Chain A
Amino acid sequence: MPQPDVATVEVVSVAGLATVQDGGRPGWRRFGLPAGGALDPALLRIANTLAGQTQDAPAIEFFGAGPTLKALDAPLLLGLAGDMGATLLRPDGEQRRLDGWRSVLLQPGEALRIGAPRRARAGVVAVRGLRVAPVLGSASTFQRAALGGHAGRALAAGDRLQAAPLPAQPAAATLARVLRRPPKPVADAPIRVVLGPQADHFDADALQSFLSAGFTVTPDADRMGVRLAAAPGAALKHNARGSEVVSDATVPGSMQVPGNGQPLVLLADGQTAGGYPKIATVASADLARLALAPVGTVLRFAAVSVEQAEDAARDHAAGLDRLLATIEPLTLDGDVDLAALYAGNLVSGMINALAPA
């Protein structure tokens, strides 16, 4: 059978916001354009590795319940990053329940309905070979300027995206992968921050309150930022320097404190400059954890030095590399899943037996 030169993905339905994101487009902040990209780069890399492609390739980031994606004319390989359930919908009406952290092979006519990730605001589904034209060096959607992604906007039911067809060799079924030990949520650990650049707009008691009180994630959260709510009476009070500065640069992780004392943490699509004092900047290693924390989560903050935050970034990257290295082949057909799991265990057991103590 001749190979089609394109595989079509149909977006059957979407629930929350779903956009194409990749590793982002650094380099344009001077023109007011944030780097964007996946809110949690680790999820993007896991999803793409599960789908057998470059870690920062374009994929679909979704909030709440995920989209339902259908393979129209050729098989598709999806990579699901997130602790969620999914349902494989076959044309004959048969349904199969699947879990996240694995790839899913869709035959033409099959669709995957993706559930909401547990304990996270967002998840990522990669489509192997997804073709999205880069704009300013990236496929990431930036809705505010209607650029990148699919026509510069969020995905909608009925959209059709293109992907490269799966290779004839090796057989598609052998491309499937699974992450057997997914990252564990560490919701209780404090979020590390570096104080400044405008911590001097707060007196010692306000800084003390910032580093000891809990702050609740509010529903006012999107790709631009997350507004936090201080406990009653614990709003962050500015000192005599006041609650405004002449605008200066903001970065992902900047914690702006407007006059009401409720911090706003900027994320990947956050504005590039702002006039509120920034009490601290979230360490890059912990920003995704904050960005994906469900509404109602109570967060605590711990101050670290710039060097400690840099070390944390390197530890985080090394940990992700170790995690990605554990992604292993999965045989897809339902009838042999158990056998594959058994074989997988045997293989990893052998590796462990051979590893130096």
Chain B
Amino acid sequence: MTVPRLLDAGDGAFTIEFGDRIDPALSARVAALDRAVRAAIAQGALPGVVETMPTFRSLTVLYDPLRTRRAEVQAALGPLLAAGDDAAASAGRQWRLPVGYGGEAGADLDELAAAAGLSREAVIDLHAGTIYRVYMIGFLPGFPFMGDLPAPLHRPRRAEPRLRVPAGAVAVANGLTAVYPWQSPGGWHLIGRCPVPLFDAAADQPSLLAPGDSVRFEPVSPARLAELEAAIAAGDVPVTNWLETDHAAA
């Protein structure tokens, strides 16, 4: 197991880097250290540490330079870094999210199928037939970077990013898939629409998904998508509705 690198990030943060790739093993090490650091913060053992930011391959620790210093935080983290490696991976929550493939929010589905030499149905089967790990949340509030996408669907980002990707668009790029929680510019390939809101500031945990969760997509018909959208808009669907019920299937 390689020793993580410590990278400077100014006077309010530093980054503990485990590697430079997208890799479930690196992600697990990040998650283990993140859990250990958050537990230490909760116990009051890291005064001045404000929050942590887990990514694919690194954990960034943010601190208040008026309350502590990098050297103090780093010294306090030493034992956690040593212990992080053998922490058992926590499973995270398992989600099943409906997707209406194609349509306006999935404008690139046919192009992606053509590029992959597959039928539209085969692309849907591949995308919906995989259980994805949520590596990290970033870019936009609630935006989940999920992998790993089946190899036949790997494509680089679009050469010309769209100025407006609609909220709810399900997208793929390289080895990853995501759902845009907000309308935003974006360079990923759009293949469908997920009606489930991924960010709700009024919820206890504002982002539906968290790093370490797993996600499976379930194809739904346009009619079913419309029904779900109406029910969600009416506030009739608790978020627990989207938790996987059949764990054996996952």
Contact = CB atoms under 8 A, between A and B. Distances in A.
A147 B201 contact: yes
Contacts of A338: none
A313 interface: yes
A339 interface: no
Contacts of B201: 135-136, 145, 147
B12 interface: yes
B143 A32 contact: yes
Interface stretch (B14-22, B85-93, B220-228): B14-22
Contacts of B139: 32, 247, 271-273
Contacts of A313: 11-12, 65-66
A142 B142 CA distance: 14
A36 to B, nearest CB: 11
B69 interface: yes
Contacts, number: 155
Contact of B8 (A136, A146, A147, A194): A194
A144 B211 CA distance: 22
Nearest to A318: B66
How many A residues touch the partner, as a band? 35 or more
A196 interface: yes
A326 to B, nearest CB: 21
A202 B55 CA distance: 23
A26 interface: yes
A21 B8 CA distance: 29
Interface of B: 7-15, 17, 20-22, 50-58, 60, 62, 65-66, 69-71, 136-143, 145, 181-182, 184, 199, 201, 205-207, 210-211
Contacts of B7: 196-198
A173 to B, nearest CB: 36
Contacts of B57: 246, 248
B17 to A, nearest CB: 7
A160 B33 CA distance: 47
Task: In the A-B complex, list the 9 residue pairs whose CB atoms are closest, starting with the nearest.
Answer: A281-B10, A273-B138, A309-B11, A197-B7, A249-B60, A31-B207, A196-B8, A249-B53, A313-B65
B53 A272 contact: yes
A153 interface: no
B10 A282 contact: yes
Contacts of A145: 140-141, 181-182, 199, 201
A193 B8 CA distance: 11
B62 A248 contact: no
Contact of A30 (B53, B58, B199): B53
Contacts of A254: 9-10
A253 B56 contact: no
B55 A314 contact: no
Interface string A124-149: 00000000000110000010111100
A135 B207 CA distance: 14
B114 to A, nearest CB: 27
B56 A246 contact: yes
A283 B201 CA distance: 30
A251 B9 contact: yes
A284 B141 contact: no
B106 to A, nearest CB: 23
Contact of A144 (B8, B50, B140): B140
In this complex, the member of A27, A144, A246, A278 whose beta carbon has the largest number of chain B beta carbons within 10 angstroms is A246
A194 B182 contact: no
A343 interface: no
A115 B119 CA distance: 61
A335 interface: no
B133 to A, nearest CB: 15
Contact of B136 (A28, A247, A278): A247
Contacts of B14: 306
A30 B54 contact: yes
A31 B141 contact: yes
